[in-house]
Homo-oligomer: A and B are copies of this chain.
Amino acid sequence: MKEITLSIFGFGNVGRATARVLIEKERFFREKYRLSFKVLSVADTSGLVWLPEGIDLREALLVKETFGRLSAWTNDYEVYSMKPGEAIKEVSPDIVIDVTNDTNAHPWHLRAIRNGSALVTSNKPPLAFHYSELVGEAEKRGTPYLFEATVMAGTPVIGLLRENLLGDRVESIEAVLNATTTFMLSRMEGGKSFEEALREAQSLGIAERDPSGDVLGMDAGYKATILHCVAFHPITFEEAKVMGIEGVTPELVERANSRGRTIRLVARIEKGSVTVEPREISLKSPLAVSSNENVALIKTDLLGELLIKGAGAGPRETASGVVGDIVKASLALRGA
């Protein structure tokens, strides 16, 4: 049995779902992989709880859900105000888990890699802006740097492109990568206005209170940029051409529908080019996904067309990717 130490940064929906899966599946990980996990620290924006003997994740969840912040946890645990970069050096876990929305996480990802920690993340901006540096540094040091959950939640499109199809040359990828816009466009097909569709998405917790990341296409653009980096070569988000669904009217949606077609926010990725824009597609197209599905249609020189479709959003569905990567990193660390 190998014990792997973890530090969790971020204790929002994804962080908490990850913690729940780690609790529920303790026995599964022991029996299937002969792995056990000890969580050395958990942090949210209020503070960092650190205990070298290992944190009780059940209690961490209880504190967070009762008080809304980890810093309320003052009976048995020390709460620190360290920044992630500092904490990584002090706590020095086997695996650093970034499930924050920190758009400036890139320096502390680098810190983690240089500190010799593996890194698992669902946080997109560090990859969308600094892929080359981060993955380059990790490869140089032979440190696992895994980010399955950044694109299509746990649907393993990153693993598929990064570790499989190794003899194929990817020619293009077409993909629907943002579930919030799919939800809104579906509602507009049902006769709702843009604003009504947005409000409904917000009230169901599908869209953020500030929905611009989804609506303006940035979320899909980050993901498409990451897919380009994996399938072709590193670029940054600045090179992506991104248009959101803010200009899509119920009239456009209705007109598409009357012709057996629909509108989806589609990413097209080719060598050196990333485009995200609303596109009218046939209802029979594999890109015509619904609910929280994401899809990627990958064309390669040997295999031809390959379709992968699965959940693209949801805390548990995203935790699938995070936890899968934690296991993958752990097996690599054990092998190393």
Contact = CB atoms under 8 A, between A and B. Distances in A.
A153 B300 CA distance: 14
A322 B324 CA distance: 25
A307 B304 contact: no
Interface stretch (A162-170, A179-187, A219-227, A244-252): A162-170
Interface string A87-108: 0000000000000000000000
A320 B307 contact: no
B168 A320 contact: yes
Contacts of A317: 302-304
A312 to B, nearest CB: 10
A308 B307 contact: yes
A320 B316 CA distance: 33
Nearest to A305: B310
A147 to B, nearest CB: 13
A138 interface: no
Interface residues of A, number: 40
Interface of A: 21, 25, 28, 33, 148, 153-156, 159-160, 163-169, 300, 302-311, 316-317, 319-320, 322-324, 326-328, 331
Contacts of A331: 166
Among A153, A300, A308, A323, residue most surrounded by chain B Cβ atoms (within 10 Å)? A308
A21 B169 CA distance: 11
A257 B214 CA distance: 41
Copies per complex? 2
Q: Which 3 A-B pairs have the closest CB atoms?
A: A167-B323, A302-B320, A166-B327
Contacts of A25: 167
20 contacts: A28-B169, A33-B166, A153-B303, A155-B303, A160-B160, A160-B164, A163-B163, A163-B164, A166-B323, A166-B328, A167-B320, A167-B324, A167-B326, A302-B320, A303-B311, A303-B317, A304-B317, A305-B310, A306-B311, A307-B310
Contacts of A168: 154, 320, 324
A168 to B, nearest CB: 6
A169 B27 CA distance: 12
